[in-house]
């Protein structure tokens, strides 16, 4: 999550889906809410090896769709990095479409540095014959088979379900089309006890109608395939998760540096009803 995809806003009564039309995950996904979340990013920590003296930016996540037609995510992550000798602006723009009921996933990511395109990755993935079949069209056409994995929305549904069940730790494999779109990642998820927002929590008010509702503290670590829980994760994210899936108070740890993400705006968008 928050790689090429962001945490989905979940679990409301936005639409009704017939039991015969979808699988169990799609039934759970009936409550996904269309929304746009904006986060201000600040550098929390950086090692000397990172070469980073300053960093700030903004992240925008837009989520629309329905359980019966699928979900589209538009994600933009813009940062300005100060190395002391120079400043550069990075801009990652990602669009994904996930059909939870059919276990299909389309993805496209464009990465820019100082407005110049560095990389474009585009492809699709689907469960087939107990494998995850990936077809890439950018930067070059190729096909590959991976171990069956969860897609981002499916994984988020799993996190919320396990949180409600009182599960505090679980492992899973995720494919989100990140990097070169040619591998899945192992993840470990830690879910803390449900808590009430404190009165002096400045981030809570931006969650709107959900500001005063309980949340779970969640941390997810991502590992390269072949690693284990004892290996060093390539990426970690911690956040406060409401039962409806809204997240805030982010910490994104990339190893050599980490960022905080503060929710500054949350807009509910018009959703699609299942018929």
Ranges of each domain in the chain: 19-268
Residues in the chain, how many? 275
Mean pLDDT of 15-40: 54
Strand partners, 112: 91, 117
What does the pLDDT read at residue 5? 33
pLDDT in tens, 132-149: 999 999 999 999 999 999
pLDDT band at 21 (very low <50, low <70, confident <90, very high): very low
Q: What integer pLDDT is reported at residue 29 of this predicted model?
A: 53
Collapsing DSSP to helix, strand or coil, 180 comes out as: coil
The confidence score (pLDDT) of residue 230 equals: 60
For the ranges 4-8, 187-191, 207-211, which has the lowest average pLDDT?
4-8
Which pTM does this prediction carry? 0.85
User: What is the tens place of the pLDDT at every residue in 98-121?
Assistant: 998 899 999 999 999 999 999 999
Alpha carbon 165 to its chain centroid, in Å, reads 22
Strand-pair partners of 185: 174, 224
**Separation of CA 109 from chain center:** 14
Rounded distance, CA 152 to CA 160, Å? 13
**Mean pLDDT estimate for the chain:** 85
pLDDT digit string, tens, across residues 151-199: 998 898 899 889 999 999 999 999 999 999 999 999 999 999 999 998 8
User: How many whole angstroms separate alpha carbon 40 and alpha carbon 63?
Assistant: 18
E strands present in 102-256: 104-113, 116-128, 131-138, 142-146, 169-174, 185-191, 215-224, 235-242, 247-253
The C-alpha atoms of residue 86 and residue 82 are separated, in whole angstroms, by 6
Distance CA 15, CA 8 (A): 16
pLDDT at 12: 25
223-272: pLDDT as tens digits: 997 655 468 899 999 999 887 777 899 999 999 999 999 999 988 887 67
């Amino acid at each position: 999550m928050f790689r090429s995809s962001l945490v989905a806003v979940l679990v409301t009564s936005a639409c009704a889906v017939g039991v015969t039309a979808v699988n169990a995950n799609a039934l759970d996904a009936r409550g996904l809410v269309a929304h746009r979340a904006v986060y201000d990013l600040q550098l929390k920590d950086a090692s000397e090896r990172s070469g980073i003296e300053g960093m700030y930016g903004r992240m925008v996540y837009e989520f629309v769709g329905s359980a019966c037609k699928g979900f589209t995510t538009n994600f933009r992550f813009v940062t300005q990095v100060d190395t002391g000798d120079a400043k550069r602006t990075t801009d990652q723009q990602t669009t994904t479409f996930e059909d939870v009921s059919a276990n299909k996933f389309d993805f496209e990511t464009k990465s820019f540095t100082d407005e110049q395109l560095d990389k474009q990755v585009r492809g699709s993935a689907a469960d087939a014959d107990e494998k995850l079949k990936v077809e890439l069209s950018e930067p070059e056409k190729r096909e590959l088979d991976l171990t069956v994995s969860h897609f981002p929305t499916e994984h988020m549904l799993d996190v919320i379900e396990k949180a409600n069940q009182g599960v505090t730790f679980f492992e899973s494999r995720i494919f989100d089309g990140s990097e070169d779109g040619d591998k899945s990642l192992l993840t470990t998820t830690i879910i803390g006890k449900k808590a009430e927002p404190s009165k002096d929590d400045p981030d809570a008010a931006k969650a709107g109608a959900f500001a005063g509702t309980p949340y779970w503290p969640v941390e997810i670590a991502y590992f390269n395939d072949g690693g284990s829980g004892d290996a060093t994760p390539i990426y970690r994210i911690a956040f406060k998760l409401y039962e409806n899936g809204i997240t805030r108070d982010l910490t994104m740890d990339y190893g050599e540096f980490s960022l905080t993400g503060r929710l500054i705006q949350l807009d509910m968008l018009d959703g699609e009803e299942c018929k």
